[in-house]
Amino acid sequence: MTGKLTHLDDKGRARMVDVGEKASTTRTAVAEGFISMTAETLGLVVSGEAKKGDVLAAARIAGIMAAKKTSELIPLCHPLALTKASVEFAPSDAPAGLHIRAEVSVTGPTGVEMEALTAVSVAALTIYDMLKAADRGMEIGGVRLVSKTGGRSGDYRASDNAAPAKSRS
């Protein structure tokens, strides 16, 4: 990687990178995050007894929608015709909470890292919104790019040395 920031012109002004000459390739990105909560709140999610309804279904749809709308949320992102966007959840008892994982793919001239990160972030925010009446102390963290494939910069895989999620009782 070079030290040059591609979203700045030679005068330091923000710009959208011209990807018109880049090869169209298949690109995939995986991102993850974690939302910690009390064991009781996690129980509401797992049992399906949250007052606002199916928390995971709503968060999954919100995450997928967010991936599709990333260019409307992040100023210099390109609008992309995604070929895949998925959001999955895994409950955790220790620490109590939900692991969130998004995978996004496209065949095009630019990557989908921001789309995967946005999907995880909005899914986590939706979980918070749907459960805040039960647990305002939930924390969202650990949002990171796990891997990406395709493109000129090649493949990337994060190290497994991520900070562990905080425990809440």
User: pLDDT tens digit string along 106-130?
Assistant: 998 888 999 999 999 999 999 999 9
List 93, 129, 155, 160, catalytic entry: 129
- Tell me what pLDDT residue 109 has: 83
> Which parts of the chain register pLDDT below 50?
1, 169
- Tell me what pLDDT residue 7 has: 67
- Tell me what pLDDT residue 169 has: 46
Active site residue 160: no
| Burial 37-70, CB ≥16 within 10 A → b, else e | bbeebbebbeeeebeeeebbebbbebbbbbbbeb
- Tell me what pLDDT residue 29 has: 97
Strands 156-157 and 139-149 turn out to be: antiparallel
- Tell me what pLDDT residue 1 has: 44
- Tell me what pLDDT residue 161 has: 67
pTM of the model: 0.87
